[in-house]
Chain A
């Protein structure tokens, strides 16, 4: 095998990609998703976490309070973002329909220490952004009131849970887990999947367009063609994943250990590319190869996700900076698998690319 010949084949395939300008689509796609995820973050945060929203608006929510006076009324009034109005239920509900109120609370005449529970009625508007925000605001006060009532009825409780004092989170985002535990691993692994699909195209195209014979009539040997194609697919992976990480960082998401993440993705990509190229060499036809490969990849991904310290988990841990020594162990393991698979694939490629070039 000559590195020069491999380089030639790789250059040819990359040039083909560049010439078609389709790689532009991939970059556009990345931009689109990065854009989308950042907007999604802002949107979801403001929707589910009103404290984040209050940064943008100083809206006061108007609450109608109806029924019996209780400690809940004082609790609601103590929240500076709520403004409580004592009203009869009927006009309050009509005001709610006209959106002059954000919610209406009705409290019945039940004593705090009664046997029965206190059943309050909360009227809100369905399918509404504001209602969702108000719900969260009201929930805080409801939880406090529940605590008060529990205190009153404490003697009737047989077993108290272990107390634990967790400080009220200050600006901690629900989306930390979404971003680091789902978005980053998925986005970073995507280039690996795209590249492995690409290698199938690169190989089957030579068979289906009957161009393999021409290539083989040159001094370039069969396995050099093969590795050239693998290399072309592989170099795109750290490039694309790198752009991802860069875009995420532009969005203000801190990512530590970016080089390790890229190393991880590249080696996982190599594994996937090898599996994909074996499928392509075997079928010599795109539809079958892509179908079998994508089913196999689903099985593989699902299986690896079920294992502790799987690559996706390690990427999440690397990005948050909580990975320990186990990362090197797993990396070494994958490298070993890749090496063995490379030797086997090399043998298979040089044999199968020479004989009988009809699609199976």
Chain B
């Protein structure tokens, strides 16, 4: 009772304080700027984004052709007589004589040809969809039916393409039972006028803006699965940039305020007053965070209303909001100066944005895209239903890591940490050390490493997104080495911080014991999280590895244990330099193990 009252009181203070400082000077300016923003957005929507204007040069002697491409600002089309153009032909990317296009053999020329091809296709469909006999102009319709297959996530995780090749030219024969199917109807079942309306709608989205915003309109596939051949290829993904910035940018902004509010408590030791109140640190932290959390959820809800989307969109954003706030808390607590604050927050926001953004590009294509909560938003906007499993899969890492980060913040919300001026690495190490108890070193190391797993997974999934599309041997090697690096660094964090805090405590037997629990905790967390999240998607693949035989678990445990021991011993022997060397050695061992066991090399 008293605890939640504390939180509310501190929230009220926070609102009062920020309204007080921001009120008189900032609010009027902010209002003017927001009005300006609306005006400018309207202006930009009208005149289009002129980012790629005139990057291609076209020369032609045919005024009809000039007119044809005058609508696309990417082309600057010169109309001149044949002789003039021929003399300057190196200047042009494309030269059009007698309705034949000559392409300059450069990257730019080729790109121009591709853009022109696309424009021409659009123009052609504009002519064709006016025809009175639509089925003469569009004689071929394709009904795309999707078939569900058991996805082999393990294979795609290692960057492989799944393709089972039948031997030579043998007719493929299914192994499973063949279910009888109803043959599709020959007639299309939709009137020509409805199809025409659909065609016209999708080809009219030709303006400069819609190049970027086709996302919201669902690419004009209103009639479901019927498509002409031209509509068949997957939509280009760059549109989701807009989406990400629309939702993520305000969240990033609001978390900045929280970050600054924490930082301001530290400037000139102002926060001493707050610390001297009976309120517990967690109440202070949560109380300060509450107004920003409410604000961020409110903004997301408003944006959802604005683009007239399903309110379900807000659900995947909540863990993202919490994650942003928890990171903001720690950055506000660790930075020594405003400059450092800026750099760290820009660094973090770029990485977080890429983690959120890049997977969502593949929203329609690959299951890996589900690691980003934004994919859920893209799917919801497209009208695809998301299941509770999808939700759990793509948000669980955010929930978990936000919780862990808040915990680290709460433990360290004390005078000696807040007002110290040690540098970034030392401070991070101090922060980690505070979460570990020397009274129960084994238990805390076990828990620490288990809770580290969400972060390790996030980084590894990021690596996966980075690498999974590279050509085969390269992607696998990079993934193996990268993953080994991440895991070894993660495992060493707790031990390193603790040894740094109390070097004398770590005798050789203690080092061995600590390595043992570190490996155990890491393995435990890894398997638990794999079971909770990934196994949902793979259904059987991971589940069987987990539970069929305990023997399988011995091998990774031995690996983790020996690698941690190498690093710990190196720290004890060689200090900071030893740490680096030990880390490299552990990574090497880890990679060799993976190559031997997973890839079957050297055997």
Contacts and interface: CB of A to CB of B under 8 A. Distances in A.
B234 interface: yes
Interface in B68-114: 68, 74, 96, 99-101, 103, 107-111, 113-114
A171 B110 contact: yes
Nearest to A296: B33
B91 to A, nearest CB: 9
B133 A173 contact: no
A201 B339 contact: yes
The residue in B130, B137, B180 that gathers the most chain A C-beta atoms within 10 A of its C-beta is: B137
A38 to B, nearest CB: 10
Contact of B257 (A35, A142, A287): A287
Nearest to B118: A174
Nearest to B139: A149
Interface string A149-188: 1101110111111111111011111101110111001000
B111 A119 contact: no
Given A128-B149, A292-B33, A302 B140 contact: no
A171 B108 CA distance: 11
Contacts of A263: none
Nearest to B166: A100
A91 interface: yes
Contacts of B33: 292, 295-296, 299
Contact of A298 (B37, B99, B350, B358): B37
Contact of A303 (B26, B34, B43, B237): B43
Interface stretch (B275-283, B295-303, B362-370, B528-536): B362-370
B47 interface: yes
Interface stretch (A219-227, A267-275, A309-317, A332-340): A309-317
B223 interface: no
A22 B340 contact: yes
Interface stretch (B316-324, B465-473, B494-502, B557-565): B465-473
A290 B146 CA distance: 49
Interface string A260-289: 000000000000000000000001011110
Given A59-B163, A198-B339, A120 B140 contact: yes
B128 interface: yes
A48 B236 contact: yes
B596 interface: no
B174 A47 contact: no
Interface in A81-136: 83, 85, 87, 89-91, 93-102, 106, 108-110, 112, 115-132, 135-136
Contact of B238 (A178, A290, A292, A306): A178
Contacts of B173: 91, 95, 100
Size bracket of the B interface: 35 or more
Contacts of B176: 94, 97-98
Contacts of B337: 16, 20, 201, 205
B291 to A, nearest CB: 14
B423 interface: yes
A204 B351 CA distance: 27
B186 A42 contact: no
A128 B366 contact: yes
Given A48-B236, A153-B139, A316-B55, A142 B229 contact: yes
Contact of B365 (A128, A166, A292, A322): A128
B54 interface: yes
A57 B473 CA distance: 12
Contacts of A209: 267-268
A17 B116 CA distance: 48
Contacts of B115: 177
Contact of B181 (A93, A204, A205): A93
A182 B123 CA distance: 25
A110 B141 CA distance: 12
B108 A317 contact: no
B577 interface: no
Nearest to B212: A182
A322 B56 contact: yes
A194 B33 CA distance: 21
Contact of B52 (A64, A177, A303): A177
Contacts of B232: 135, 138-139, 142
B107 A43 contact: no
B144 A124 contact: yes
B136 interface: yes
A152 B236 CA distance: 32
Interface stretch (B304-312, B341-349, B393-401): B341-349
Contacts of B171: 85, 87
A99 B132 contact: no
B507 interface: no
A43 B468 contact: yes
Nearest to B234: A132
Contacts of B55: 177, 180-181, 316-317, 320, 322
Given A162-B65, A298-B37, 8 more contacts: A47-B365, A67-B183, A94-B179, A117-B135, A128-B151, A135-B234, A164-B99, A202-B339
6 contacts: A26-B343, A97-B174, A159-B127, A291-B22, A299-B33, A321-B108
